[in-house]
């Protein structure tokens, strides 16, 4: 299979993926989370960044870790965030199944 044929197949797969119902639900869910929970997201990323910048010997490391865990819990307990991770996992499973099929159809016959 030449490079142009591969590129065409990849482009067709990406178009099919964009039309996938799970993908569209995932995008909608992500957009909702960004708009509805902007402040929780901002707080989560700030706390995560602060924790990553410090090392375990930093004097307030335990407090930074606690603040990060609290911000993460507040964000991850929201129903839309739970749905987002469920949809993302479902889409990943579908993509992985497609990769297995591609491997069996293209690589193994060689």
Residue 20 binned pLDDT confidence (cut-offs 50, 70, 90)? very high
For residue 81, give the nearest of 32, 48, 25 by alpha carbon. Answer: 32
CB atoms under 10 Å from CB of 29, counted, come to 20
The pLDDT score that the predictor gives to residue 51 is 93
- Number of neighbours of residue 81 by Cβ within 10 angstroms: 20
**What is the percentage of the chain residues whose pLDDT exceeds 90?**
69
CA separation, residue 89 to residues 16, 44, 110 (Å): 18, 21, 31
pLDDT value at 87 more than 70: yes
Query: Binning pLDDT at 50, 70 and 90, where does residue 110 land?
Result: low
Reference 20, options 106, 97, 104; nearest CA is 97
Query: Mean pLDDT of all residues in the chain?
Result: 92
Give the ranges where 37-106 is alpha helix by DSSP (H): 38-53, 61-76, 79-102
What was the pLDDT predicted at 42? 97
More confident residue, 107 or 26: 26
């Amino acid at each position: 299979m030449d490079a142009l044929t591969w590129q065409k197949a990849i482009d067709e797969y990406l178009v099919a993926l964009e039309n996938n119902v799970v993908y569209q639900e995932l995008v909608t869910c992500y957009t909702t989370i960004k708009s509805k929970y902007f402040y929780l997201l901002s707080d989560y990323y700030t706390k995560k960044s602060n924790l990553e910048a410090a090392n375990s010997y930093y004097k307030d490391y335990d407090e930074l870790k606690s603040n990060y865990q609290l911000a993460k819990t507040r964000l991850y307990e929201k129903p839309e965030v739970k749905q987002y991770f469920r949809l993302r996992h479902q889409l990943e499973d579908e993509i992985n199944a497609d990769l297995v099929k591609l491997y069996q159809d293209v690589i193994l016959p060689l």
